Amino acid sequence: MSERFSRLAAAMDRLYEFDREPVTPDKLQSGAKFAGLFAGEHVAATEFVIGAFFVLHGVGARDLLWGLLIGNLLAVLSWTFICAPIAVRTRLTLYWYLRKIAGPGVTFLCNIANAFLYCVLAGAMISVSATAAGLLVGIPVPKLGTVLPSSLGWVLICLVLGAAFTTVAILGFAKLSRFAEIASPWIFVVFIAGALAMLPRLGVRPDLGNIWEVATTKIWNGVAAAGQEKFGFWHVLFFAWFCNLAMHVGLSDMAIFRYARKWTYGFFSAFGMYPGHMLAWIASGVMVAAVGREMHPGLMASEAVGIAGIAGVLLAGWTTANPTLYRAGLALQTITPGWPRWKITLLAGAATTVLACFPVFFLKLLDYVAIYGLVLMPIGAIVFAEHWIFPLLGLEQYRAEKEGWTFNGAALAVWLGTLAVAFVLPLHLYFRWLPCWFVAVLAYTGLMAVRRPR
């Protein structure tokens, strides 16, 4: 078993060989690059769904604004004080740093979990795009609460889009990535212009004199849609905070912050959070209210911006599903060593396309985002403990690397144990990750202290 994992780990290492060495000083990037990167990455297809769901969950206008302001600030601070300092000190990706801490076996399992979670996320993005494509050919969008594919037409449109996205991902990931950099400012404009154009339909006067009244009575009026749980300030705050939990507290964004000159570059994440996770969410809330609170991103954008809106939803889904598919493929490649790149992307794309047919993933996107962050958060907690707390307590660091462990049993136990605690914790799903992060940090530190070499 251990030998098999060692072989898999060796194959996995070859895949990530290109970023094995710490980033050298000549490769460091300016703050403007980070601002641009964050601004581009956080205006995605899912923004059409998340902001709209806050309306359907009956969030009040004041709760929304304060929740987004503070929640996004906490996300920025998490990048700045948790992720960026470790990345700048090590200049490594999470993959290589985790390998030193938890061993190649745990890193392998983390990769597989990541691949599956990426596939679901890309599937949700394809579903969002399908709402736009379906509008063109008259295919109805599944109703709220639908779990299984609702019609043959929906399945067909998801299959066609999934096949198209996968083909493009196989043929030209790099080119599409460059195209995505062009598309993202325009997608942001679709959100802002769309919301502005929908305000008259909601009764907002050109002098904006009644905008707060409209916002509190017709958009975020505090009334949840039928079958939707009522959300308040804390739900919004925690959602905004954990929306990218895997990236900041979970430390996935070490991959980009290792290029930062200083840890304070973490503050540049605000360029992604406030336009993408505040303004775009507010805009999609306005749009959903203007179309009679129907969760239909294609219809929302089409009514707001016309044919360009439909293109906007399609592009937003496409450009964000593509890197997600790529990352899923990269992670999956570890279990199929020797497979060519196209074959593994095809496998990831096929899995993603099948998942996209199930509307539950985009209609329960908020819960999925919470679960996604929760599953990967303990890995970040383990790395945080080993990086910061071990030196303070005089515990030896990187024992997995020094002693050649395939699995750091303590790390694996803490990861799985934390998820078990999260499962039984009598708290709302959105609030569970925070106490569980402390549980993971304490448990890992305690277990490794007990395993201290004599």
Query: Footprint of other proteins on this chain (CB under 8 A)?
Result: 16, 19, 29, 33-34, 36-37, 40-41, 93, 95, 178-179, 181-183, 185-186, 189, 192-194, 196-197, 199-200, 204, 206, 253, 255-256, 259, 305-308, 311, 323
Q: How far is the CB of 28 from other proteins (least distance, A)?
A: 9
CA angle 52, 53, 58 (to 5 degrees): 105
Distance CA 15, CA 1 (A): 21
Query: Whose structure tokens read 């109703």?
Result: 143
Q: How far is the CB of 290 from other proteins (least distance, A)?
A: 12
Least distance from other proteins to the Cβ atom of residue 315, Å: 9
Residue number, 133 or 357, with CB nearest to other proteins: 133
CB-CB neighbours of 307 under 10 Å:
10
The minimum distance between CB 34 and other proteins, in angstroms, equals 7
Q: Measured from the CB atom, is 310 or 357 closer to other proteins?
A: 310
Which residue bears the tokens 């000549």?
Answer: 26
Task: Judge whether 240 and 277 are in contact, CB under 8 Å.
Answer: yes
- For other proteins, the closer of residues 102 and 305 by Cβ is 305
- State which residue, 9 or 180, has the beta carbon closest to other proteins: 180
What is the closest distance, in whole angstroms, from the C-beta atom of residue 10 to other proteins in the complex?
Answer: 19
As measured in angstroms, the least distance from the Cβ of 14 to other proteins is 15
Cα distance between the two ends of the chain? 28
**CB 91 within 8 Å of CB 19:** no
Between CA 326 and CA 324 the distance in angstroms is 5
**CA-closest candidate to residue 106, choices 337, 385, 406, 378:** 406
| Cα–Cα distance, 227 to 343 (Å, whole number) | 41
* Residues found in the chain: 454
Nearer to other proteins by Cβ, of 135 and 204: the residue is 204
* Residue 260 CB, nearest approach to other proteins (Å): 8
Q: How far is the CB of 37 from other proteins (least distance, A)?
A: 5
Angle at 352 between CA 179 and CA 305, to 5 degrees: 45
**How far does Cα 436 stand from its chain's mean position?**
19
Q: Which one, 204 or 360, has the nearer CB to other proteins?
A: 204
Return the DSSP state at 159: H
Token code pair at residue 291: 């179309």
Nearer to other proteins, 111 or 166 (CB): 111
Judged by beta carbon, residue 193 or residue 335, the one nearer other proteins is 193
